[in-house]
Amino acid sequence: MRRHSHRLQRTILQPVEVTGIGFLTGAQVTLRFCPAPPTTGLIFVRTDLNPRAYIPARVDWVTDTRRRTTLGHLPVQIGLVEHVLASLAGLRIDNCYIELNALEPPGLDGSARGFVAALIEAGIDVQPLHRAIWEVQSPITVGQRGATLTLHPDPDSDTLKITYILDYGPQSPIDRQTFSQTITPETFINSISASRTFLLEAEAEELRKQGLGARTTPADLLVFGPKGPIENKLRFANEPARHKALDIIGDLALLGQDVRGHVVAYRSGHPLNVELARTLSRKLKQSHPSTARLAA
């Protein structure tokens, strides 16, 4: 990887809170975004633990990618971090403390829209230090079981572009669909942030058997039955593909660096998103050892 350019780092101007029910535990959760100095990065703070526990949003802290991205080990753990991280990365907020009093953020409506609204309310503070923007010189691909995720060089763009191809097969209630977008704060707000997490009815039932999502109903997110969304309507015809792009943005934020290029994803999810972040982290450490602290 090589350095392409740089931009000024950003944080928020003032603290702001978001409250809601956690999808997994059903607990009432308060999340508080707080400003942070340059080069701090994104750090979760478990305020319900004594002493407070700090969990960096870094790929080396990922401990689980089954249906969601989890950082740390119990009791110092935070799960379902991808929507919060996508909100921060989508708005190009680089330094922030994310305080919360539970092991997951509020679920809200299954999208990033509520987090984005709070961050916009807090305001953006441009900081005096630079943040590097990196690029690959040849495609990097990760894959498993027919799913692939590739970061391609893109000499015509100064930012990241994501193309997601969703294909669950001909028997799925979710149609094959594609979403493609150059990622800027404006496109993230308008085209991606409102897309909600989704799952099949059978998957929702399995989670309930595990004791998860007891206070979550199909009206709270997208649950697909044989005839489409149950007790809900799509916000976009390709909302599931848009949400997959949202997850990619959140998971790649774990790299702790800006990357330009074109991400092309086919049927990928959190495991491959995190594997791509890990691969990029390794390459950065090999080619630019000075980035090791920020990319770890």
Annotation marks residue 262 as catalytic: no
Are 194 and 186 in contact, with CB atoms under 8 Å apart?
no
Report the Cα 61 to chain-centroid distance in Å: 15
Count the residues in the chain.
296
- Select from 208, 33, 58 the least CA-distant residue to 122: 33
Q: Which residues, at least 6 apart from 60, have a Cβ–Cβ distance to it below 8 Å?
A: 281, 296
107: amino acid identity, one letter: G
Cβ atoms within 10 Å of 209's Cβ, excluding its own: 7
| φ and ψ at residue 82, rounded to 5 degrees | -65, -35
- 202 near 216, Cβ under 8 Å? no
- Helices 239-252, 270-287: axis angle to 10 degrees equals 30
* Residue of 83, 243, 262, 270 marked active site: 270
- Report the DSSP pairing between strands 96-100 and 124-135: unpaired
Q: Which residues are annotated as catalytic? A: 270
